[in-house]
Structure 1
Amino acid sequence: MNKVNINIVKPSATDKGAFSRIFLSLEDDSSYRLEIDNTYFERLYNYTKEATSIAFEFYLFTVIIYNIDKLIPRKKLSLDGWTREIKFEFPVSNLSVWDSNKKKINEMLSFLTGDVWNVDFFEGDSDSFYTPLDLENKNNFIPEKICLFSGGLDSLVGSYKLLKTSKKTLLVSHFDVAMSGPNSDQRKIISQLETKFSISTDFDWVDNRIGAKRGSSKKLETTFRSRSILFIGMASYLAHNLTPNESFHIPENGTISLNIPLSPSRRSSCSTKTTHPHVLSLVNTIFNSLNILTSVKNPYEFHTKGEMLVPYNNDNFFKGLVELSNSCGKGGHKVWWYKFWHKKHSSLVIDTSDSHHCGKCMPCIYRRAAMHKVGWDYEKYYGDNIFDENQWSWKNTRSNKRMKDVKTLLSFLSLKKNQTKIKRELLINGTLPFYKLDDYSNVVVRTIKEIEDWLNSHSNDSNYQELKKRAKL
Structure 2
Amino acid sequence: GYINQFSQFNAIAQPHLNNGRATEITMRTRSLNFLAFAIVSAYALQEFMQEKIDVFVPENGVISINAPLTVRRVGTLSTRTTHPYFIQEIQRLFTAVNIPFTLRNPYQFKTKGQMIAECENLPLLQQIIPDTVSCSHWKRKNQQCGVCVPCLIRRASLHYAGITNDAQYEFNDIRHILTNQDRRDDLFALISAIRQKNHRNINQWVLQSGPLSTQQLNQFANVFRSGLD
* Same fold? TM cut 0.5: yes
1:410 matches 2:176? no
**Does structure 1 residue 308 correspond to structure 2 residue 115?**
yes
Query: Unaligned stretches of 5+ in structure 1?
Result: 1-141, 144-167, 169-200, 335-354, 450-473
Amino acid at match of 1:388: R
Matches within 5 A, 1:140-219: 168=3, 202-209=5-12, 216-219=19-22
Please state how far the C-alpha of 1:357 moved relative to its aligned partner: 1.5
Bigger relative contact order (CA 8 A; separation at least 6): 2
Does residue 272 of structure 1 match 2:59?
no
When the two structures are aligned, how many residues end up with a matched partner? 225
Superposition TM-score, scaled by structure 2 size: 0.87
Bigger radius of gyration among the two: 1
Distance in 2, Cα, partners of 1:214 & 1:269: 23
* Alignment partner, residue 202 of structure 2: 422
**2:225 maps to which of 445, 448, 451:** 445
Match of 1:326 among 128, 133, 140: 133
Q: 1:209 to 1:356 in 2, by over 3 A?
A: closer
Superposed CA RMSD? 2.5
Contact kept? 1:240, 1:292, Cα under 8 Å: no
Which among 224, 230, 241 is matched to residue 27 of structure 2? 224
Cα distance per residue 1:277-320 (max 9 Å; x no partner): 00111111111111111121111000000110112387322211
**Structure showing the higher strand proportion among its residues:** 1
Go from structure 1 to structure 2 and tell me whether the alpha carbon gap of 1:241 and 1:293 turns closer, same or farther (over 3 Å shift). farther
Partner of 1:37: none
Tell me the equivalent position of 1:371.
158
Distance 2:18 2:105 in 1: 37
Tell me the secondary structure at the aligned position of residue 409 of structure 1.
helix
- 2:54 partner SS: strand
What's the TM-score once normalised by structure 1's chain length?
Answer: 0.44
Higher fraction of helix: 2
Structure 2 CA distance, aligned partners of 1:380 and 1:327?
A: 10
Aligned residue identity for 1:223: T
1:255–1:444 contact (8 Å) kept in structure 2 = yes
Instruction: Give the distance between the partners of 1:287 and 1:383, measured in 2 at CA.
Output: 42
From 355, 359, 362, give the equivalent of 2:149.
Answer: 362
Paired with 2:129 and 2:10, the residues of 1 have a C-alpha distance of 20
Name the amino acid aligned to 1:426: V
Q: 5+ residue gaps in structure 2? A: none
Cα deviation code 1:96-142 (max 9, x no counterpart): xxxxxxxxxxxxxxxxxxxxxxxxxxxxxxxxxxxxxxxxxxxxxx9
- Post-superposition offset of 1:252: 0.2
- Among residues 148, 158, 170, which one is paired with 1:383 in the alignment? 170
Q: 1:314 to 1:374 in 2, by over 3 A?
A: farther
Question: How far is 1:380 from its partner?
Answer: 6.0
Residue 314 and residue 372 in structure 1: after superposition, are their counterparts in 2 closer, same or farther (change >3 A)? Answer: farther
Amino acid at match of 1:437: L
Question: For 2:69, which of 262, 280, 290 is the aligned residue?
Answer: 262
AA of the residue aligned to 2:43: H
Q: For residue 54 of structure 1, what is the aligned residue in structure 2?
A: none
Residue of structure 2 in register with 1:282 after alignment = 89
Residue in structure 1 matched with residue 55 of structure 2 by the alignment: 248
Q: Which amino acid aligns with 2:155?
A: R
- Point out 4+ residue stretches in structure 1 off by more than 4 angstroms: 209-216
